[in-house]
């Protein structure tokens, strides 16, 4: 009887280890994407790699105000700042995604700066979407929208 219990314990542990490893590494286990998105990477990546990943999925990174470059000058009028599939900056967003920064396809276009892009972040129980400038060599989550 002890041998059966031991083998069952070992088998159970072997089946559980991949799940524990995925959760510890920060990989997502989402099977269903929110409306407007076509792909969610299992790992975080650099900005240029994120662009390539979305292209391979048949899409692109979300854009801010439908633009591939933006200086952030109109953030004081948040109802004019839109992010593909996320919606209007500062409004409710109820999709089930990890609270994290996600790359956008919009570069930071302030004169004198290069190598920066915008990221969107979903915070506090899906209540607010905010944006921030991140260096393109930062590793962030990636979600893609259709072309």
Kindly list the strands in the beta sheet with 128-135, ordered across the sheet, starting from the edge strand earlier in the chain: 69-70, 101-108, 116-123, 128-135
Residue 132, domain CATH = 3.10.100
Are 75 and 111 in the same domain? yes
Are 67 and 101 in the same domain? yes
Are 75 and 121 in the same domain? yes
Render pLDDT for 30-88 as a digit per residue (tens, 0 to 9).
457 888 999 999 999 999 999 999 999 999 999 999 999 988 876 655 667 889 988 88
Q: Please report the pLDDT score of residue 40 as a whole number.
A: 94
| Residue 5 clears pLDDT 50, i.e. is over it | no
| Residue 102 clears pLDDT 50, i.e. is over it | yes
Choice between 29 and 96, residue whose per-residue pLDDT is larger: 96
Q: How far apart are CA 71 and CA 87, in angstroms?
A: 19
Q: What's the average model confidence in pLDDT over 83-97? A: 80
| Residue 128 clears pLDDT 70, i.e. is over it | no
Q: How far apart are CA 78 and CA 49, in angstroms?
A: 29
pTM beyond 0.85: no
Q: How far apart are CA 32 and CA 87, in angstroms?
A: 19
Which residues touch 34 (CB under 8 Å, ≥6 apart)?
85, 95, 96, 97
Q: Please report the pLDDT score of residue 75 as a whole number.
A: 60
Q: How many domains is the chain built from?
A: 2
Residue 104 structural domain: 31-146
């Amino acid at each position: 009887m002890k041998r059966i219990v031991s083998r069952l314990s070992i088998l159970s542990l072997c089946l559980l280890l991949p799940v524990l490893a995925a959760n510890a590494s920060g990989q997502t286990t989402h099977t269903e994407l929110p409306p407007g998105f076509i792909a969610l990477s299992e790992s975080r990546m650099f900005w240029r790699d994120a662009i390539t990943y979305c292209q391979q999925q048949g899409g692109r990174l979300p854009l801010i105000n439908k633009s591939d470059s933006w200086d952030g000058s109109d953030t004081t009028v948040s109802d004019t700042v839109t992010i593909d599939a996320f919606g209007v900056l500062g409004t409710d967003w109820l999709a089930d995604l990890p609270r994290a920064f996600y790359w956008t396809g919009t570069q930071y276009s302030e004169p004198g700066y290069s190598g920066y892009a915008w990221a969107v972040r979903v915070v506090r129980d899906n209540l607010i979407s905010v944006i921030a400038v991140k260096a393109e060599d930062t590793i962030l989550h990636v979600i893609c929208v259709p072309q």
